[in-house]
A and B are shown apart, each in its own frame.
Chain A
Amino acid sequence: MILTMKHALRPSGGLANFGCVSAELFGVLLLSLALAGAQALTPSHHLSLSDVGRLQNLLNQPYDDLESAYYSVVGLTKLGAAVPDPAEVCQFLKSQLDPGSVDSLFFAAETSKAISGCEIPVSNETRDILLAAVSEDSSMSQIHRAVGALSSLGLPLASQEVVGALTARINKEDNVMAIISALQAASRLSQQAELGGILEEIEDLTARLDDLGGVYLQFEEGLEATGLFVAAAYSLSDHVDMEPPLKEDQVIQLVNSIFSKKSWDSLSEAFSVASAAAALSNNRFHVPVVVSAQGPATVSHNQPTLQLLVTDVMSQPLASASVLVESAYALASKSTVLNQAPFTHNNGVFELNFMSSKPASGYYQFTIGVTGDSRLVANHIELKVKVSTEVAVTNMDLSVVDKDQSIGTKTTRVQYPSKAKSSFTADSHQNFAMSFQLVDVNNEQELTPHQTFVRLHNQKTGQEVVFVAEPDSKNLYKFELDTAERKSEFDSMSGTYSLYLMVGDATLENPILWNVADVILKFAEEEAPVAVQPKTLYVPKPEIQHLFREPEKKPPTVVSNTFTALVLSPLLLLLILWFKLGANISNFSFSPSTILFHLGHAAMLGLMYVYWTNLNMFQTLKYLAIIGGITFLAGNRMLAQKAVKRIAAEQSSRLAKYRSLR
């Protein structure tokens, strides 16, 4: 823990600018973080040897244009792989070269520089085209490619002019890829030039990275941008010999992002990953370390050495590294087992004979430190190591004890792995008892494994019942079977049961399944089921028939018909009464409005019937509006005429009455 702190407080390039007080405050902050239990980040992804192979295969594909040739050849050289057939590559470059295009010149020049013995012919025109491209009017990518081509072709270039063009261009083109191109271009310039302004862009770009869960750090533009950024940042930092303003955790987060993707979509993406891998394994400031156990992190009596692989992000072994166990403590008892124990280097693998310190079986937490190079990042890791052992069963005693203790117990000792010669009988008045001890074969200590089960298996019916054997305070395991009490678990089936002891644990190399004896159990058969039915959980269940909703009970048709007649009968009575009263239609005037009114009225009643049978409310209202309108107008006319007639009749009768009175 203290080593971690000292390491973290080492002043980096950025921190050196602050004053002493700020450094102290920073230290206090780190102390509190360390006390809070924050662990330094270690890489969760890196390029294993098979990943590197796959990347090489992808880069090795045949190409048909200069850009693909550039990615392929330069990518392979970055991975340290050999370029197949360099002479053919050189021929291809010369044939495909377009001396008027800056891009074409860049790809050809860079590729030719990667393979030795390939010279691209340069003319004055070419040089002029390239120099003309270096101005603040070209795009950043053009400036970078022109600078790269000029540098690779060995042509002179004015570094200060380039810096001016780059700085002016950064103001206009603010996106991530443009600034990465600027960094790449700056790393090709002379060291005397004023590169400070461009160097500051690294810090700005770092601020633009997205932090995902504290584990990944990447640009939203994607993996390619992140990879190219890492390559460009370290290349420029190496060029000016100033540590990049990336914190250790940020470096590891970048490693996680770039190497988390194991299959690459395009040649340019593969190239960016290869560039980043090369930059991170070989720069002057930060080299992330990948420590992993070879095989499972387990030691035992047969395999006493813990073997570790310590490599860089490309799975290349670190040249000068010494590995040390800073501390190791048992997880169960928290007692320290090792302190500052070194690993020995053996054939590319770091080994430690852990069993020589005679650890008890269980899990141990190792804190491992890798030293030897001041550039190493994430060089303290926590590793959980398992120590496994073999168990032996001793002092296995079986006995049948009478419940009232009147008859003395008879104990039979059984040796593993043989079976007891005679079988034991227990009925409802007796208990069957078993006791044993579990010891570690190597150091004669008592063990308490996770799984100590006693299994009773009925030979005839296949039924099995499992119990747990518990240790007492002296780690002596005891198991007692009370025949009367446990009869429900056996379903009261009497018979011969095979008794097995099952012992298992994650730290045991030899789990035990031991048929100890046969036990004949006799239950008082009060409610003995005839045979044991196996659980019928998975048998098809009876089919459910769907019950349709039953229609409601209707009254018999006779009743309905009777009541229909009864309901209609008052109509008959009405007609009779009207006839008797002398109601008539003698006053019916056959004027058109009257006829129209009656027709309309009849139509409305007819519409009601049609509504009942066919229509919905909206249609009915529509028809009703039409018919009703006609009926209303006709009826209005008719009634007005009637009113006129009535008033005339009243007036004439009044006149007649007046005259008769006179």
Chain B
Amino acid sequence: MSNSVVSVISRFLEEYTTTTPNKLKVVDAYLLYILLTGAMQFLYCLLVGTFPFNSFLSGFIACVGSFILAVCLRIQINPQNKGDFLSISPERAFADFLFAHTVLHLVVMNFIG
């Protein structure tokens, strides 16, 4: 059982490093960073407590929101998905990403207290 899992993972990693364009790898690194930040915040909340609760929520929502927006960006700039996003150029996707982030930051800053 574990044998097959290990082989699947190694195969996946191999394919990933060879076939994924560099641009997408940059975005993936960003995604990993966001994930780890959110995980750290959640760990703190579990261990130490929820005081102050609004700050924890705003930080956590920032991470979750950024992750989602970055995933959307990645989907939209992936050349393999070009057929699904004919009207949205990569530049347009990036502009949307920036705008959505502005709104997210506004909300997060309001809530951080």
> Which of B29, B40, B43 is within 8 Å of A577, CB to CB?
B29
Take A563-B48, A577-B32, A628-B102 as given contacts and tell me if A583 and B91 are in contact as well, using a CB distance cutoff of 8 Å: no
Instruction: Please determine whether A640 and B91 come into contact, CB atoms closer than 8 angstroms.
Output: yes
* Minimum CB distance partner of A573 in chain B: B33
CB of B68 closer than 8 Å to a CB of A:
no
| Chain B 37-54 per-residue mask, 1 if CB under 8 angstroms from chain A, else 0 | 100110110001101000
Complex-state Cα separation, A583 to B25, whole angstroms: 9
Specify the main secondary structure of chain B where it touches its partner: helix
| Chain B 77-113 per-residue mask, 1 if CB under 8 angstroms from chain A, else 0 | 0000000000001111011001000100110011010
Complex-state Cα separation, A577 to B102, whole angstroms: 25
Contacts of B8 in A (CB 8 A): none
> Which of A553, A566, A574 is within 8 Å of B30, CB to CB?
A574
Contacts of A487 in B (CB 8 A): none
Contacts of A582 in B (CB 8 A): 22
Complex-state Cα separation, A608 to B37, whole angstroms: 20
Contacts of B90 in A (CB 8 A): 643, 646
Instruction: Please determine whether B106 and A624 come into contact, CB atoms closer than 8 angstroms.
Output: yes
Take A578-B29, A639-B95 as given contacts and tell me if A608 and B51 are in contact as well, using a CB distance cutoff of 8 Å: no
CB of A570 closer than 8 Å to a CB of B:
yes
CB of A642 closer than 8 Å to a CB of B:
yes
Instruction: Please determine whether A571 and B25 come into contact, CB atoms closer than 8 angstroms.
Output: no
Minimum Cβ distance to chain B for residue A576 (Å): 9
Instruction: Please determine whether A583 and B26 come into contact, CB atoms closer than 8 angstroms.
Output: yes
Complex-state Cα separation, A567 to B35, whole angstroms: 11
Instruction: Please determine whether A567 and B37 come into contact, CB atoms closer than 8 angstroms.
Output: yes
Contacts of A608 in B (CB 8 A): 105-106, 109
Complex-state Cα separation, A451 to B36, whole angstroms: 90
Minimum Cβ distance to chain B for residue A392 (Å): 84
Minimum Cβ distance to chain B for residue A522 (Å): 68
Minimum Cβ distance to chain A for residue B73 (Å): 13
Contacts of B44 in A (CB 8 A): 563, 566-567
Instruction: Please determine whether B26 and A578 come into contact, CB atoms closer than 8 angstroms.
Output: yes
Contacts of B34 in A (CB 8 A): 570
> Which of B51, B94, B102 is within 8 Å of A624, CB to CB?
B102
Instruction: Please determine whether A555 and B48 come into contact, CB atoms closer than 8 angstroms.
Output: yes
Complex-state Cα separation, A573 to B34, whole angstroms: 11
Take A567-B37, A628-B102, A636-B95 as given contacts and tell me if A611 and B109 are in contact as well, using a CB distance cutoff of 8 Å: yes
Complex-state Cα separation, A171 to B95, whole angstroms: 89
Minimum Cβ distance to chain B for residue A567 (Å): 4
> Which of B25, B40, B112 is within 8 Å of A570, CB to CB?
B40
* Minimum CB distance partner of A597 in chain B: B98
Complex-state Cα separation, A640 to B94, whole angstroms: 12
Complex-state Cα separation, A267 to B74, whole angstroms: 101
Instruction: Please determine whether B25 and A581 come into contact, CB atoms closer than 8 angstroms.
Output: yes
CB of A530 closer than 8 Å to a CB of B:
no
Contacts of B98 in A (CB 8 A): 601, 635
Number of A residues, CB within 8 Å of B: 35
CB of A421 closer than 8 Å to a CB of B:
no
Complex-state Cα separation, A559 to B34, whole angstroms: 22
Contacts of A583 in B (CB 8 A): 22, 26
* Minimum CB distance partner of B49 in chain A: A555
CB of A612 closer than 8 Å to a CB of B:
yes
* Minimum CB distance partner of A609 in chain B: B109
Contacts of B112 in A (CB 8 A): 612
Instruction: Please determine whether A642 and B91 come into contact, CB atoms closer than 8 angstroms.
Output: yes
CB of A20 closer than 8 Å to a CB of B:
no
Complex-state Cα separation, A57 to B92, whole angstroms: 102
Complex-state Cα separation, A646 to B36, whole angstroms: 33
> Which of B29, B36, B51, B91 is within 8 Å of A639, CB to CB?
B91
* Minimum CB distance partner of A577 in chain B: B29
Complex-state Cα separation, A54 to B36, whole angstroms: 100
Contacts of A578 in B (CB 8 A): 26, 29
CB of A299 closer than 8 Å to a CB of B:
no
> Which of B26, B32, B49, B106 is within 8 Å of A620, CB to CB?
B106
Contacts of B102 in A (CB 8 A): 604, 624, 628
Question: Which residues from 508 to 567 on chain A have a C-beta closer than 8 Å to any C-beta of chain B?
Answer: 552-555, 559, 563, 566-567
* Minimum CB distance partner of B113 in chain A: A612
Complex-state Cα separation, A555 to B29, whole angstroms: 33
CB of A617 closer than 8 Å to a CB of B:
yes
Most-contacted residue by chain B among A570, A571, A581, A628 (CB, 10 A): A570
Take A555-B49, A567-B40, A581-B25 as given contacts and tell me if A635 and B109 are in contact as well, using a CB distance cutoff of 8 Å: no
Minimum Cβ distance to chain A for residue B92 (Å): 8
Contacts of B109 in A (CB 8 A): 608, 611-612, 620
> Which of A563, A570, A611, A617 is within 8 Å of B33, CB to CB?
A570
Question: Which residues from 624 to 644 on chain A have a C-beta closer than 8 Å to any C-beta of chain B?
Answer: 624, 628, 635-636, 639-640, 642-643
Question: Which residues from 7 to 36 on chain B have a C-beta closer than 8 Å to any C-beta of chain A?
Answer: 22, 25-26, 29-30, 32-34, 36
Complex-state Cα separation, A566 to B22, whole angstroms: 28
Instruction: Please determine whether B110 and A617 come into contact, CB atoms closer than 8 angstroms.
Output: yes
Minimum Cβ distance to chain B for residue A607 (Å): 9
> Which of A552, A566, A574, A635 is within 8 Å of B40, CB to CB?
A566
Complex-state Cα separation, A646 to B79, whole angstroms: 13
> Which of B26, B51, B89 is within 8 Å of A581, CB to CB?
B26
Minimum Cβ distance to chain B for residue A562 (Å): 9
| Chain A 589-615 per-residue mask, 1 if CB under 8 angstroms from chain B, else 0 | 000000000000100110010011000
Contacts of B92 in A (CB 8 A): 639
Contacts of B40 in A (CB 8 A): 563, 566-567, 569-570
Instruction: Please determine whether A635 and B95 come into contact, CB atoms closer than 8 angstroms.
Output: yes
Contacts of B106 in A (CB 8 A): 608, 611, 620, 624
* Minimum CB distance partner of B25 in chain A: A581
Complex-state Cα separation, A553 to B30, whole angstroms: 36
* Minimum CB distance partner of A574 in chain B: B33
* Minimum CB distance partner of B45 in chain A: A563
Instruction: Please determine whether B51 and A554 come into contact, CB atoms closer than 8 angstroms.
Output: yes
Take A612-B112, A624-B106 as given contacts and tell me if A639 and B49 are in contact as well, using a CB distance cutoff of 8 Å: no
Minimum Cβ distance to chain A for residue B16 (Å): 12
Minimum Cβ distance to chain B for residue A610 (Å): 10
Instruction: Please determine whether B41 and A567 come into contact, CB atoms closer than 8 angstroms.
Output: yes
Complex-state Cα separation, A639 to B26, whole angstroms: 19
Instruction: Please determine whether B91 and A581 come into contact, CB atoms closer than 8 angstroms.
Output: no
Instruction: Please determine whether B41 and A574 come into contact, CB atoms closer than 8 angstroms.
Output: no
Instruction: Please determine whether B33 and A552 come into contact, CB atoms closer than 8 angstroms.
Output: no
Contacts of B33 in A (CB 8 A): 570-571, 573-574, 577
Minimum Cβ distance to chain A for residue B11 (Å): 21
Minimum Cβ distance to chain A for residue B50 (Å): 10
Return 10 A-B CB contacts under 8 Å, by A number: A559-B48, A570-B32, A577-B33, A581-B25, A601-B98, A611-B109, A617-B110, A624-B102, A639-B91, A646-B91
Q: Which 6 pairs between the two chains have the least Cβ-Cβ distance?
A: A570-B36, A574-B33, A639-B91, A577-B29, A567-B40, A563-B44
